[in-house]
Amino acid sequence: MTGKVLILGGTGEARRLAEALVAEDVEVLSTLAGRIADPVLPPGEVRVGGFGGAAGLAAWLGATPVAAAVDATHPFAATMTASAAAAAEHTGTPLLRLQRPGWAPGPGDDWRWVDSLAGAADAVAGFGSVFLTTGRQGLAAFAGLTARCLVRSVDPPAPPLPGRTTVVLARGPFTVEEELAVMRQHGVEVLVTKDSGGAMTAAKLTAARELGLPVVLVRRPPLPAGLAVVGTVDEALAWVRAQPG
């Protein structure tokens, strides 16, 4: 690979892919959405900010040709993934989706699957203390809850929030012991999270299992039809190496 590789990033996998490609002297441009005030930057060139949807990304690709693109955004960044697929098809840019596998329940887990944040809010309506770890985007779906709600995010969340909300500003990863401590401190009765997958944020699931707490998980959005998908950085690296650019 001698041409530039575009990595739509913001995840640990995106950073690790950028590190591996830069180590091979491949020119890399990573993009971040800009939703976190102080993000951990990958090596190589970095662009912060959106493109303006599929049309904007297609125009950008037309003006800034790249040999290949890897969409390594969060599993729930459905709008960006759809835009990337449409723009890549329009411009003829080779595109790969790098998406880590989702979580699977184990013995002792009490997992309750829902299709949306609104569904998650309905699922926890009868609990007295809810731990919301879905990120600060989309918390409006829980604004009607009357329970005590613990919200953890890197940056302060914007209203509307549930009326009885405690906000903890922290950046993970967290250990199982840290998750156990926060759940016990706040008397958590149920955990709400998205099926993000990966080991970086799985400690809360282990802590919930040890405490016998139910977990409400939001299913991932579907991927665009025909999109090539791999689950590991090594697979993505091999795909990039195989591109003719």
pLDDT in tens, 201-241: 999 999 999 999 999 999 999 999 999 999 999 999 999 99
Say yes or no: 231 and 150 in one domain.
no
Rounded Cα gap, residues 166 and 27, in angstroms: 44
Span 95-99, average pLDDT: 98
Where does residue 187 rank: exposed (0-12), middle (13-18), buried (19+ CB within 10 A)? exposed
pLDDT tens per residue across span 111-142: 999 999 999 999 999 999 999 999 888 999 99
CB-count burial class (<10 Å; 0-12, 13-18, 19+) for 223? middle
Residue 123 lies in a domain: yes
Domain that holds residue 38: 5-101+222-241
Supply 66's token pair.
């790249």
Largest CA distance in the chain: 57
Q: Find, among 167, 176, 177, the residue nearest to 201 by Cα.
A: 176
Q: What is the pLDDT of residue 41?
A: 86
Say if residue 160 is preceded by a cis peptide, omega within 30 of 0.
Answer: yes
Instruction: Identify the band that residue 40 occupies on the pLDDT scale cut at 50, 70 and 90.
Output: confident
Pair 233, 204 in one domain: no
Between the alpha carbon of residue 99 and those of residues 78, 140, 229, 231, 235, the distances in Å are: 12, 26, 7, 5, 11
pLDDT, one tens digit per residue, over 55-85 is 999 999 999 989 999 999 999 999 999 999 9
Residues 196 and 165 in one domain: yes
Residues 164 and 237 in one domain: no
pLDDT at 1 over 70: no
Is 106 domain-assigned?
no
Q: What is the number of domains present in the chain? A: 2
pLDDT at position 35 over 90: no
Do 47 and 122 lie in a common domain?
no
Asked whether the beta carbons of 58 and 65 are under 8 A apart, the reply is: no
Shared domain check, 159 and 178: yes
Segment among 41-50, 93-102, 181-190, 206-215 with least mean pLDDT: 41-50
Q: Report the pLDDT value the prediction gives residue 197, as an integer from 0 to 100.
A: 96
CATH assignment at residue 193 = 3.40.50
pLDDT at 36 over 90: no
- The reply to whether omega before 65 is within 30° of 0 (cis) is no
Q: Output 204 or 245, whichever has higher pLDDT.
A: 204
Whether 38 has a pLDDT exceeding 80, the answer reads: no
Residues 226, 214 share a domain: no
Task: Say whether both 204 and 230 belong to one domain.
Answer: no
pLDDT one-digit tens code per residue, 175-207: 999 999 999 999 999 999 999 999 989 999 999
